[in-house]
Structure 1
Amino acid sequence: MLELMHRSGHPGRSGRFGNRVSGAILAISALLSVSCMVLVSGCGGTPPRRTPLPQPTALLDARGALEQGKIVRARQIFSSLESPERPLSLRGMARIGLGRCAIAEGDLDEAIRHLGVARKLLPSGSQHARVRLYLGEAQLRAGAINSGLNHLETAFPSLVDADDRSRAAFLITGTLDQLGDAVPALYRTAAGGHSYPEYSSIWRRTRPAPPTVVAVPTVQPPVQIRPTHPRLKIHQRNSWNARPVRTRSVVPMSRPTRITVHHTADQPAIAALGIREPKAYLRRIQDYCTGSLKWGDIGYHYLISSDGRIWEGRPLKYQGAHAGNNSLNRGNIGIALIGNFDLDRPSSSQVKSLGSLLSALSTVHGIASSRIYGHQDLRDTGCPGTHLQAVLSRLVAKLNRTSTARKTR
């Protein structure tokens, strides 16, 4: 646009025009100059202030009806706004409203269905985060605690409205308190002194029932959580000269209930180091995690190098930092195979060691094969790579067959 203005916007400044310019040309020149000034005022310097488009009155009316508890009326209006000829954003917001109506009536399956459609219609950003806020609430009410927390913790950073942020933080904090898990200060602070009594029924559902008192011999719990397997060798942290864990930057591990497998997918230089010298590689990764990322330690609990050696990463008594957020990391053992398995196939030694480690961990901690995941099963990511995901599927199927055979004996 600027180039066009210089060509046509100020012809009167050129020395090529003499004093014999006709009146008609002067008039045209003046008209163009005025047009140029109008263009410059709109494009140069500070852009003109834009007033956001008002939301449709019907949408505001529906929200008002919902806040007043007039669910039937709210649903009627929201339903009229989600027809296919409407703009996608309006349809998405209408679906959020329908999801909220369903939550209010206790129809959680219907709520999750509407909110799932809203996720597809709305772009990423604050509105998408609001969908996750209500999805998190619906999942918590349905008893899907991990899924609910995952939605809420994913939504929290993108929520713009102060009430939405405090609600998300309140739900996260209350649920973690009921589970007896550590609550990150970020959520505790954001929840502040707010109170939302409408959520109290969620925690009556998640609170465990009073235990039945039975006289049993006292068993001393193990001091450390370590897998035991007659043919499994794990190279401990001192074998690669790991620095101590920064205990102020980690939280205790809750009872392990699932396992997630990753690939490291490093840049070429560091990837080559992982093949040549795993010990130096592990120290480099630890330095990056504790230095650049400010974590308490390396994120994975175990790493497997291309020669099949299994290395201890973060001690299992601490929650890992590998799955994406606090709720996904909770009770989740992280295993990473060193390499990029979109590009390459894991070595036979890595595959064998992974199978042995999965077997040992699932046996010791009572983790069902259905609770062993590739990272892409939990988040929108390509990890652990196409080749490793296929290998993992076969290993999990084998573990499932073995477990079934043991039960039928």
Structure 2
Amino acid sequence: MQVEKPEIITKDQWGGEAPVGEKETHEIKYVTIHHGGVEFGEDKDPMEYMRNLQKFSQDDKNWMDIPYHFCIDLDGNIYEARPLQYPGDTNTEYDPTGHALINVMGNYEVQKIKPEQIEAIAHLSAWLAQEYEVPTDSIATHKDHSDQTVCPGEDLYKYFEDGTIINRIEKLLKE
């Protein structure tokens, strides 16, 4: 069976701009989960967040685009960010080349992850694993690759520690 591609809100739909500058391409070998690190309330507009994140990433950080390839909002909606053919960016020491980066909007050191977000992480990760032949033991979090961060936050990380997310990904890949 095939994992169906999840519904993804495109850059055009959320009002994003094209990447700026050039970067070398890469091959996806890992899926890495991040959180935004900033609280994200129910009253926030995820499309505005995406536009602001892109502007900050390009203007203030001088990155080609949003550092992540996908972002997930509080309701589990998935947004297209940086094109997958380009490596992401990070503020820590790990090299994100070869990683498909998924950012969950919010700060899961203080916020509670929602079931819809966990399902979106699992579905998107399973689809990426299938498309790029990424083994489930190569699906992890930012803090698994860096000693300089608590990302994706304690409340999200516990679902990796207890196997909930990887087990769900494996189940999706077998359906």
Match of 1:372 in 2: 139
Alignment partner of 1:397 out of 156, 167, 170: 167
Match of 2:35 in 1: 263
Cα RMSD after superposing both structures: 2.2
Alignment partner of 1:292 out of 57, 60, 71: 60
Match of 1:247 in 2: 21
Cα distance, 1:383 vs structure 2 = 0.5
Residues 361-393 of structure 1 deviation map (CA, whole Å, 9 limit, x = unaligned): 111111001001111111111000111111234
TM-score, with normalisation over the residues of structure 1?
0.39
Residues paired across the two proteins, number: 171
SS at match of 1:352: helix
Residues 341-377 of structure 1 deviation map (CA, whole Å, 9 limit, x = unaligned): 1112211111111111111111111100100111111
Match of 2:89 in 1: 321
**Contact 1:260-1:323 at 8 Å conserved across structures:** no
**Contact 1:322-1:334 at 8 Å conserved across structures:** no
Distance 1:402 1:291, change over 3 A: closer
Q: Distance in 2 between matches of 1:275 and 1:388?
A: 21
**Percent of pairs with identical residues:** 23
Larger strand fraction of residues: 2
TM-score, with normalisation over the residues of structure 2?
0.88
Structure 1: which 5+ runs fail to align?
Answer: 1-227
Cα distance, 1:293 vs structure 2 = 0.5
Distance 1:275 1:234, change over 3 A: farther
- Name the aligned partner's letter for residue 284 of structure 1: N
1:6-405 → structure 2 map (5 Å cutoff):
229-230=3-4, 232-248=6-22, 250-252=23-25, 254-266=26-38, 271-272=40-41, 276-322=44-90, 324-325=92-93, 328-380=95-147, 381-392=149-160, 393-400=163-170
Q: Distance in 2 between matches of 1:333 and 1:376?
A: 15
Match of 1:5 in 2: none
Structure possessing the higher relative contact order (Cα contacts under 8 Å, 6 or more residues apart): 2
Cα distance, 1:394 vs structure 2 = 1.5
Q: Distance in 2 between matches of 1:383 and 1:308?
A: 18
Distance 1:315 1:231, change over 3 A: closer
Q: Distance in 2 between matches of 1:229 and 1:324?
A: 32
- Name the aligned partner's letter for residue 238 of structure 1: D
Q: Please say which structure displays the higher CA radius of gyration.
A: 1
Cα distance, 1:333 vs structure 2 = 0.5
Q: Distance in 2 between matches of 1:346 and 1:241?
A: 26
Larger helix fraction of residues: 1
Distance 1:340 1:285, change over 3 A: same
Structure 2: which 5+ runs fail to align?
Answer: none
Q: Distance in 2 between matches of 1:275 and 1:356?
A: 25
Q: Distance in 1 between matches of 2:81 and 2:24?
A: 15
SS at match of 1:260: strand
